[in-house]
Amino acid sequence: EDRPGDKRLVAYLVAADGATVDLTVLRREISGALPDYMVPSAFMVLDEIPLTTNGKIDRRALPAPEHHGDTDGRAPRTPAEEVLCGHFAAVLGLPSVTIDDHFFHLGGHSLLATRLISRVRETFGVQITVKDLFQGPTVAGLAALVEAGGDAVRRPALRESVRPRRVPLSSAQQRLWFLHHLEGPSATYNIPLALRLKGALDRDALRLALTDVVVRHESLRTLFGTADDTAYQWQVPADEIRVELPVTTVTGETLDAALGAQAARSFDLESELPFRACLFDLGGDDAALLVVMHHIASDGWSTTPLLRDLTAAYTARTQGQAPGWEPLPVQYADYTLWQREVLAADGERQADFWRHTLDGLPDEATLPTDRARPAVASYRGTTHSAHVPAELHRALTRLARETGSTLFMVAQAAVATALSRSGAGEDIPLGAPIAGRSEQSLDDLVGFFVNTLVLRTDLSGDPSFRELLSRVRDTDLAAWAHQDLPFDQLVEALNPERSTARHPLFQVVLTLQEAVTPTLGLPGLAAESGFAPLEISKFDLTFSFHEHRTADGRPGGLDIRVEYATDLYDAGTVEAVTDRLVRLLGAAVENPELPVGELAFMSPGDRHRLLEEWHGTVTGSSGSNLAELFAAQAARTPDAVALTDGDRELTYAELDAVTNRLAHHLIGLGVRQESVVAVLMERSADLLTALLSVVKAGGVYAPLNHADPDGRLDQIIAETRAPVLITDTPLSDHPIVAKTTAHVVVLDGTAAFDHLPATPPAYPAHPDQWVYVMYTSGSTGVPKGVTVTHRNVSDLAAQQVFANENHRRVLFHSPHTFDASTYEMWVPWLNGGTIVVAPPGHLDPATLGTLLKDAGLTGLWLTVGLFRVVADEAPEAFAGLREVWTGGEVVPPEAVRRVMDRCPGTTVFNVYGPTETTTFATTHPVRRPLDPGALPIGGPFDNHRLYVLDPGLRLVPPGTPGELYIAGTGVARGYLGRAALTAERFTADPYGPAGTRMYRTGDLVRWNRRGEIEYLGRTDQQVKLRGFRIELGEIE
C-alpha cells in the first residue's frame, strides 16, 4: 500500500542456487494460469526473504516494490506517447510504463480513469472520454486518438478567476438552494462525519485546526442569499472566521443518540456557515468529534482532502505553528464560473444526447412499495446491510474483466435485474453519482462537485446476464462521455412530470466504492472515522456497494448497504430484496449465459411458501353430481325450508318433488347428458326450480339475460344449440322466444307437471360433466361461454368457510347470468340452508334494506358498488348479518370500516374469483382493527392453488407483482366451442400434479408477507361494471 487506500499485489522471489529469473517469462506463465487480479503488479527478486527472530516473514523489512510495466512493451516513439507514459505512471503511482501497458490491468479504476482523462485534456486540449480509455486502454491507443485531435472542442481552462460582485451558484448548488426554500431547513442534505479520538487531545489546537480548514476552503465559509430574484454566494473574509467547538459530556451508551441529534440539526444557509463542529467528552482520554457540513458546500469525495488538511493543521497547531500548506490553485467560486463557460460551449450538445438517450423514460421505476406513496416525501429512512463473501467478490471481478466491463457495471446489471424481477419493469433508470472532479486542480478541494448520471438499463427480451452486461457497458460509457451536464439542467432539458412525492427521472441510486478508512495521523491520538447516524433517505432506495481488499490487494468481500424510505418500505421487504440480490450475483457468475429471468433469485423458504404453505387445504371430493347431492340433502332435512319467495315457501321435500316432475318433462323433450337448456326468466322461485330441474335431467343450464342485445342472445342460442328454452309468463313474448326453433317451456306457477312422476329420474351425469355454461365478455367483441362442471360447484359448496350457520339464510338477488348466483343457489342448498328470493328487477338500496330487516338473513353477497352505497347511506342495515361477502371490484376500505364500526357482530369478507374458477377462488375475512391500505383479496379456497407468475410462467417472490394463475378443483372445463382460446387461457400447471391445469386470470397481483394476495390491476383492457367483466373490445 504505497499510497493510502491503493493496495497492490507484489511478488517477492529468491532464485534457486545458480538460477536466473526471467521476469517476462514468469509474468507470462502466471498470467496464463491465474485470473488477472491474482497476477502481481510487481516482481521483486531478493537474495533472501527477511525473517523475524521467530522465523516468520518480516513484512516491514521487505523492500518497497518497484512497479514496472510489461518488460516486453515498447518504449514511447512520439512526443505524445512520451507525455502519456508520464501521465499513466503518475496516476497509477508507477515509476514508468510502456506504450503497451493496460491501464486497468495495472490497477486503474473509474476514479483514476477520470484523473487520467483530466490530465490528458489539460495537456493536449482535446476531449478524451472515459469511453475512449476503455476502448484503447494503452498509451499507444490513446496517443492515436490524441494525435487525431479527439472528438470535441477544447474545453476552457479552469483557473483563478476575476469574480463579479455577486458570485452565482453552481448548477448543483442552485438545486439545493431551491429545495432548501421549497421544503424549509432540514437535515436531509446534511453530511455528518464522526471521529473517535483516543489519547491526549489538545482541544485548543483542534479548534484552531478546524478554523484553518474552513479558512483554506472557501466553500466552508460561504453564505447564500437572493438579490433581484437570483441566488448568489459570498465568502466570509478569512480574518473573520473563528470555528466554535462546544463540548458535551456523554457516556458510551448515549454517544450515538447525541451524535444523531447534533447531525440532525438544520442549517440556516443565509446566516450560518455550512460547517459546524462539536466535541463529545466520554471521560479520560476518550472523545468524539462531529463535523457536520451542508451538501451545498461539500460532498462525499470531499472527505479525503478535508481529513488530510485537518491532520496537517492539527499537527502544526500542536507545535504552536500555523499549517504551512501550499495555496489551493482554485476555489469553489472559480469552479462555479468555469462551469458556466464549459456549459456555454458544450452544454447543448450534451443535452441533446440526454434527450435522445432518455426519451420515453418511465416516470417511476422502483421496487413496488408496501404503502401508497405520500403526496410529499418526508425523506425519513433507515438502512439494511448485507455481505458478499470474498470468493464471490473475486468471481464478480473476474466476470467484469472477462467481459471488458467494471465491477460497477456488474453491480448495475444485477441491481437492475433484481428490481425488474421484483416488478419494476424492463426499463430501469438508476441514478449514479460521479465525482464531478474532471480537472486535476479540483482533487484537493472541498466543495459540491458531485453530479448524478441517469443510467438506463434495458432488460427487454430477457437477455443473458452476459448480454445485459454488454448493454450496460455501452450505456455507461456513453453516459460518462456526457457527464458535464449538471443533473438539474438535465431535468430542465427533459422537463419530466414534476412531483413532490418522488425524485425525477430515477428513484433508485447505485454507488460502488472501496471501503477505505481515511488514515488520520493526528499526533498523540488514535483516530477512527465514520459517519454519524442520520435516519434519512433522499431516494426510494440507494444500493451502496463497498469493496474490501485483503492485505495483498485481492478482493476481500463486498458490503451492500441499502438505504430506503420508510414511508414506502418495511424492513422485511428491503431485507428480502437484498437477500435475493446477493443470490442473483452468485447465479450470474455461475452461469452468465442464462437469461436473467432464469437466474436463481428466490430463497428456498420463499419457494416452499409459494408451493406448499400458501396453497389451499386439500380435502376430499364427494364423487357425486349435484342432483345426487341435493337428493341426499333433501333426504336429511325434508321438512326444512329450501326457498322462500314472498309468501311462497317450499320445503326440501316439496322442492325435490316439483323439480323431479319438471326434470321428467325435460327428458321427454330430449334433454340428455350435457344437453344445453337455455333459461330466460325473471328472478323467482320458478327460476330456481327450472335450474335445478335441468340439473336433475342431466342437462346443462345456459342463463339468458332478457336485457341483453338480441345479437348476443342469438349468438348464445346458436352456439349452445339448446334443444329446449325455459321461460316464464312475463318474458314469454320476448323476441328470442318468438324466433327460436327450440322447444319452449313456459313456467307459470301452475300445476302443469303434477301428472308426471315425483320420483327422481336417473342421474346419468358424471361429476366432471358440465352443469352450466355462463357467458362473459370477450376481448374480440364476441362473448365466450364458460363451461362449469358438477365437481366445480360441489367443491365450492363444500368449502370449510361455509361449514357453519353463517350461510343458513342467503339472499338470491344476483342475475342468474352472473356467477355469484352459483354461490347464492348451491351453497345454501347443499348445506341444508334456505334461499330467500329477492323481487325481480334491479335491487335498489331501499328494497335491500327492507329485506335485510325482515328476511332474517345470515349471509349475503353484494357487488362492491351496492355494498358501498349501503355502507355510505345505512351501514347499520348489515347489523343482523353474520357475514357480508363482497368483491368483483376493488373494495373501498372506508366503506368496510363504516360497516365494521356500526355492526360489530358482522364479518366482512373481501372475495375474488373469475367465472372460470367457479365464482370464488380467494377469500379474506377483514380483520379488526382494519389494516391501513388496500384490502387483500386473501388466500386460496380449499383444494385451490394460486400462482403469481412472470411472463415466462416463472414464480415471482412474495411482494413482487405478477399475473395470477389459479389451479385446483374450481377451474372450469374451458370455453364452449373455443378450443384455441381454451388452450390459451387454461394451460398445463407446471407446479401441480401431473395432468392438472391452471387458469390465466389476466389480473396483476402480488403476495404479501402474510400469505395473502393483493390485487393491483388488470394486464389487459378489461373493466368491471357492477361485478360483471366487460371487455372494451365488445363495446367497440
Whether 806 has a pLDDT exceeding 70, the answer reads yes
Q: Cell numbers 430477457 correspond to what residue?
A: 462
pLDDT in tens, 927-964: 988 888 889 999 999 999 999 999 999 999 999 999 99
In the predicted model, what is the mean pLDDT of residues 865-870?
A: 94
Query: In the prediction, which pLDDT does 1036 show?
Result: 38
1006 pairs with which residues across the strands? 1014
Q: How confident is the model at residue 819 (pLDDT cuts 50, 70, 90)?
A: very high
Q: How far apart are the first and last CA of the chain?
A: 73
Helix (H) or strand (E) holding 666: helix 652-668
Q: 867 or 32, which is more confident?
A: 867
Q: How confident is the model at residue 657 (pLDDT cuts 50, 70, 90)?
A: very high
Query: In the prediction, which pLDDT does 533 show?
Result: 63
Q: Taking each helix axis from N to C terminus, what angle separates 303-318 and 203-216, rounded to the nearest 10 degrees?
A: 130
986 pairs with which residues across the strands? 999
pLDDT in tens, 838-853: 998 888 888 888 888 8
Number of residues that this document lists for the chain: 1036
- CATH 3.30.559.30 positions along the chain are 341-364+403-436+447-516+536-613
Task: Give CATH superfamily name and number for 10-61.
Answer: ANL, C-terminal domain (3.30.300.30)
Count Cα neighbours of 116 within 13 Å in the Cβ-side half-sphere: 32
Whether 554 has a pLDDT exceeding 90, the answer reads no
Q: How confident is the model at residue 134 (pLDDT cuts 50, 70, 90)?
A: confident
Residue 331: closest CA among 291, 297, 292: 297
pLDDT in tens, 381-429: 999 999 999 999 999 999 998 888 889 999 999 999 999 999 999 999 9
- Four-way CATH pick for 341-364+403-436+447-516+536-613: 3.40.50.970, 3.30.1330.10, 3.30.559.30, 3.30.1360.180: 3.30.559.30
3-state secondary structure 719-778: HHCCCEEEEEHHHCCCHHHHHCCCEEEEECCCCCCCCCCCCCCCCCCCCCCEEEEEEECC
Query: In the prediction, which pLDDT does 1027 show?
Result: 45
The fraction of the chain above a pLDDT of 90, given in percent, is: 70
Angle at 153 between CA 128 and CA 480, to 5 degrees: 40
- Whether domain 79-147 has CATH 1.10.10.60: the reply is no
- CATH 1.10.1200.10 positions along the chain are 79-147
Q: 692 or 120, which is more confident?
A: 692
Query: In the prediction, which pLDDT does 1021 show?
Result: 53
- Four-way CATH pick for 167-333: 3.30.559.10, 3.30.540.10, 3.40.50.970, 3.60.10.10: 3.30.559.10
Query: In the prediction, which pLDDT does 43 show?
Result: 77
Are the C-beta atoms of 853 and 827 separated by less than 8 Å? no
Q: Using CA atoms, how far apart are residues 826 and 280, in angstroms rounded to an integer? A: 75
Q: Return the C-alpha cell found at 416.
A: 437492475
In the predicted model, what is the mean pLDDT of residues 699-721?
A: 94
Q: 8 or 909, which is more confident?
A: 909
- CATH 3.30.300.30 positions along the chain are 10-61
Q: Using CA atoms, how far apart are residues 909 and 425, in angstroms rounded to an integer? A: 32
3-state secondary structure 463-477: CEHHHHHHHHHHHHH
pLDDT in tens, 474-492: 999 899 888 889 999 999 9
Count Cα neighbours of 369 within 13 Å in the Cβ-side half-sphere: 21
pLDDT in tens, 57-74: 888 778 766 555 454 567
Tell me the C-alpha to C-alpha distance, in Å, between residue 915 and each of 221, 642, 982: 70, 25, 14
Are the C-beta atoms of 490 and 364 separated by less than 8 Å? no
Query: In the prediction, which pLDDT does 31 show?
Result: 65
Strands across the sheet with 508-514, in order?
381-388, 555-565, 541-549, 508-514, 427-434, 451-458
What string of DSSP letters covers 797-851? HT-GGGSSGGGSEEEE-S-TTSTHHHHHHHHHHTTT-EEEEPPSS---HHHHHHH
- CATH 3.30.559.10 positions along the chain are 167-333
In the predicted model, what is the mean pLDDT of residues 753-777?
A: 91
Averaged pLDDT of the chain: 90
pLDDT in tens, 181-190: 887 888 889 9
Query: In the prediction, which pLDDT does 1034 show?
Result: 40
Q: How confident is the model at residue 133 (pLDDT cuts 50, 70, 90)?
A: confident
Q: How confident is the model at residue 153 (pLDDT cuts 50, 70, 90)?
A: low
Whether 3 has a pLDDT exceeding 80, the answer reads no
Q: What share of the chain is helix, strand, coil (3-state, %, to 5)?
A: 35, 25, 40
Query: In the prediction, which pLDDT does 1 show?
Result: 56
What string of DSSP letters covers 276-310? EEEEEE-STTEEEEEEEEETTT--GGGHHHHHHHH
Q: Return the C-alpha cell found at 384.
A: 439494511
Sign of CA dihedral 464, 468, 469, 474: positive
Strands across the sheet with 724-728, in order?
743-747, 724-728, 676-680, 700-703, 770-776, 784-789, 974-975
